[in-house]
Amino acid sequence: ECHFINGTEKVRFAMIYNREQYALFDSDVGLYVGDTPDGEKVARYWNSDPARLENKRTEVDWYCRHNYECLIAFIMEPRVPPSPSQSIP
């Protein structure tokens, strides 16, 4: 899951399991950060692998930043309220 902070300057790629965020990749730092005790262990392991870090940096660019314009246009698009004939009683 991509989280955008200050546009695409800072992107955080969250790792979620069972509806709980346990770790994230912080593009500002370029490393994984653990949010739970288990997430900290996983983050240390993932940070020890330079190939995994480079892959995640690339993934943030081609997945999160690439889709930012599409996502922001969809989220920020003005919504037209339904006409009275379309409202559900």
Task: Give the CATH number of the domain where residue 42 resides.
Answer: 3.10.320.10
Return the higher-pLDDT residue of 16 and 85. 16
Order the strands of the 10-17 sheet from edge to edge: 2-5, 10-17, 20-26, 31-34
pTM score, two decimals?
A: 0.63
CA 53 to CA 30: how far, in whole Å? 7
Q: Is residue 82 part of a domain?
A: no
Mean pLDDT for the stretch of residues 7-30 = 77
How many domains is the chain built from? 1
Return mean pLDDT, the chain.
Answer: 76
Domain housing 6: 2-75
CA 31 to CA 24: how far, in whole Å? 8
Q: Is residue 86 part of a domain?
A: no
Max mean pLDDT among 28-32, 44-48, 52-56 falls in 44-48
